[in-house]
Amino acid sequence: MKKVIKVVVIVLILGGITAGIGVTLANNKNKMEEEAKLSQITAKSIPVVISKVKAVKLGKDFEISGTFNPTREMRFNADVQGKALQVLVEKGQQVYEGQLLVKLDDQDLQRDLKLAKVNYSQAKRDLERFTALKAGEGITAQQLEQTRLQFRQSEIQIEKIQAKINKMAIKAPIAGVVTQKMIEKGSFISPGTPLVEITDIQQLKMVVKLAESEAVQVTKGQTVAVKANVYPDKVHQGRISTIAVKADASKKYDVEIDINNNDNKALIRAGMQGTANFKFDKAAEVLMIPRKAIVGSLQDAKVYVATADNKAKLITIETGITHQNMVQVTKGLTTADRVITSGQINLQNGTKVSVLKK
């Protein structure tokens, strides 16, 4: 009887434990399902912070000094060696592209060329004779191929010598004015020896340095009235070709203005000083966004914008200058866009986002 009672008690205990484990497992399962549902809900959207694209109105006229620099300037060296028989230019002389500047002694090369032509003629006769013999099976295919190879080598030798002879006549690579002449008649020239420097002043560029507040006002292609200090009554119409995207050590931005310099009565020379007058008919607007909105570098800038249906859209933009923690946008955005400034690390194109309030 006691044994029966013990068995019943053990069964009851085991049943209670099993029931308890079952309840615990069920509770854990429900909890995991709830957490999974919550994570799915959370994963549906990524929280982000946005900023509207700001339009900053500018347009105050200003004038600034700058320096005229040549658009094209070339100092070139010899490719071959030889004695300078003729130096046909002087410093300050105007030259045209392709004009002969220096003639080197090429007598040795001319002799080499004559010998190479003799070898070429012999190789040509051999090839013609061997070709005729091959037709009658007088020689092997290997002998004919060897003769053809020798003929081709003689051709190449003539081409190489002729190329060296051509380099002995040194010509101007660009049109302009000879600003330096580093050799004289009779000089021995080695490969790499500096010869002549030519500066083209028909096209000049004025380089001016603008402060942040000035640099954000100007645009590439904008026309600017330019004067040289030595010709105060002569106005040149320049055009902005380059605007630096990074300031120098003095927190200034280099801006280059291209100018046609074709007035012989008021010819501007490289290195002269002048002024550029920036005028604005109306207040200009420039678009600015926070620097932290940009994904990647300023040279290959991209941003995520939050669309009307709260999705992240990746857009490639073009940038101008950086002003404090803001960057100028010259292409790709409008004031209607909302750029994402925080949370981009979790985004892909088309990701659902939820905008957090600041």
pTM of the model: 0.50
What's the topology of domain 62-71+200-283? Elongation Factor Tu (Ef-tu); domain 3 (2.40.30)
Q: Which of 24-33, 169-178, 211-220 has the lowest mean pLDDT?
A: 24-33
* Secondary element (H or E) of residue 3: helix 2-43
Domain 106-166 - what CATH class? mainly alpha
Bridge partners, residue 66, by sequence: 208, 274
DSSP 8-state class, residue 357 = P
Q: What is the sign of the dihedral through the CA atoms of 315, 321, 322 and 324?
A: negative
* Secondary element (H or E) of residue 300: none
Give the mean pLDDT of the chain: 83
Distances from the Cα of 39 to the Cαs of 34, 36, 216, 293, in angstroms?
9, 5, 46, 27
Residue 5 scores a pLDDT above 50 = no
**Length of the chain, in residues:** 358
Q: Where are the domains of the chain?
A: 47-57+285-355, 62-71+200-283, 106-166
For residue range 38-91, what is the model confidence (pLDDT) as tens digits?
444 445 789 999 999 988 776 677 889 999 998 888 888 888 888 999 999 888
Q: What is the pLDDT of residue 32?
A: 59
Torsion of CA 152, 153, 159, 164, to 10 degrees: 180
Q: Tell me which residue has tokens 């003689």.
A: 154
Closest to 86 (Cα-Cα) out of 73, 100, 103, 70: 103
Structure tokens at 141: 């295919």
What number of other Cβ atoms are within 10 A of residue 90's Cβ? 8
- Listed in sequence order, the residues at least 6 apart from 31 whose beta carbon sits closer than 8 Å to its beta carbon are none
Q: What is the pLDDT of residue 127?
A: 87
Asked if residues 127 and 208 have their Cβ atoms less than 8 Å apart, the reply is no
Q: What is the sign of the dihedral through the CA atoms of 33, 34, 35 and 41?
A: positive
Closest to 225 (Cα-Cα) out of 345, 103, 63, 10: 63
Using left for φ > 0, alpha for ψ between -120 and 50, and beta otherwise, residue 85 falls in alpha
Q: Tell me which residue has tokens 């490969």.
A: 191
N- to C-terminal Cα separation, the chain? 77
Residue 208 scores a pLDDT above 60 = yes
Residue 189 scores a pLDDT above 80 = yes
Query: Could you please report the per-residue DSSP string of 30-62?
Result: HHHHHHHHHHHHHHT-EEEEEEEPEEEEE---E
Taking the C-alpha atoms of residue 216 and residue 230, their distance in angstroms, rounded to an integer, is: 30
CATH number assigned to the domain with residue range 47-57+285-355, chosen from the 4 options 3.90.1300.10, 3.30.1490.20, 1.10.10.10, 2.40.420.20: 2.40.420.20
For residue range 11-42, what is the model confidence (pLDDT) as tens digits?
444 444 444 444 454 555 555 555 444 444 44
Q: Kindly report the CA angle at 77 between 72 and 78, in degrees rounded to 5?
A: 140
Taking the C-alpha atoms of residue 155 and residue 168, their distance in angstroms, rounded to an integer, is: 21
Asked if residues 274 and 226 have their Cβ atoms less than 8 Å apart, the reply is yes
Q: Identify the band that residue 346 occupies on the pLDDT scale cut at 50, 70 and 90.
A: confident
DSSP 8-state class, residue 296 = S
Q: What is the pLDDT of residue 1?
A: 46
